[in-house]
Amino acid sequence: MNKRILRLFESAVIQDKFIFDCAMDEARQTIIRDFCNFCQKKLEIEEMPQVRLVDKKEENMSTGAYTPGANTVLVLAAHRAILDILRSLGHEFTHRKQDETGALKNIQPQGDRGKDDMSDVGVDFEDEANAKGGALIKEFSRKYGKVPFETLFEL
């Protein structure tokens, strides 16, 4: 994507909240920043989490993780459509909101802790994160307009 278009993408974001430990072009990084700001506004999150995108699965995560206390969000970015990355971000941002309101009673890092772990299956905070994450991505993808809609489905 050319530089002139990229400059149009620049928005007022706190850049140091984002760490890209993965190969990702600037256009996608901008979409991710814009979506995180959108989530913060929509969910009325007081303190923006530190967001780190990685290209390899790390401990305590499946495709994403939220760590209460540290207020960090970790999301797997490699080999995923941007829409799927955003869905994970919306899910983890919902956990941040739950943490701020006290709804997140479980103080363990939120994320898949292995195939035998059932502690986040069918529990309220997890179902809410799935539902809100889905709603956030739907609204964002339809309103965004900075990139063609189909771009969001590309790997």
Report the distance separating Cα 75 and Cα 24, nearest Å: 13
Residue count, binding to Zn ion (CB under 5 A): 3
What are the distances in angstroms from CA 43 to CA 31, 49, 128, 146? 18, 13, 12, 22
Among 43, 129, 147, 152, binds Zn ion (CB under 5 A): 129
For residue 54, which amino acid is it? V
Number of alpha carbons in the 13 Å side-chain half-sphere of residue 132? 22
Taking CB under 5 A as the rule, which mask of x and - marks residues 13-52 in contact with Zn ion? Answer: ----------------------------------------
Cα–Cα nearest to 14, from 61, 42, 50: 50
Neighbours of 82 (CB within 10 A): 21
Q: State the nearest-atom distance from the C-beta of 79 to Zn ion, in Å.
A: 21
Q: Is 77 in the site for Zn ion (CB under 5 A)?
A: no
Taking CB under 5 A as the rule, which mask of x and - marks residues 79-118 in contact with Zn ion? Answer: -------------------------------x--------
Q: State the nearest-atom distance from the C-beta of 110 to Zn ion, in Å.
A: 5
Q: State the nearest-atom distance from the C-beta of 32 to Zn ion, in Å.
A: 19
Report the distance separating Cα 23 and Cα 25, nearest Å: 7
Q: Is 75 in the site for Zn ion (CB under 5 A)?
A: no
- C-beta of 40 vs 110, nearer to Zn ion: 110
Contacts of 59 (CB under 8 A, 6+ apart): none
Q: State the nearest-atom distance from the C-beta of 64 to Zn ion, in Å.
A: 7
Cα–Cα nearest to 133, from 8, 36, 31, 9: 36
- C-beta of 83 vs 129, nearer to Zn ion: 129
Residues that bind Zn ion (CB under 5 A): 110, 126, 129
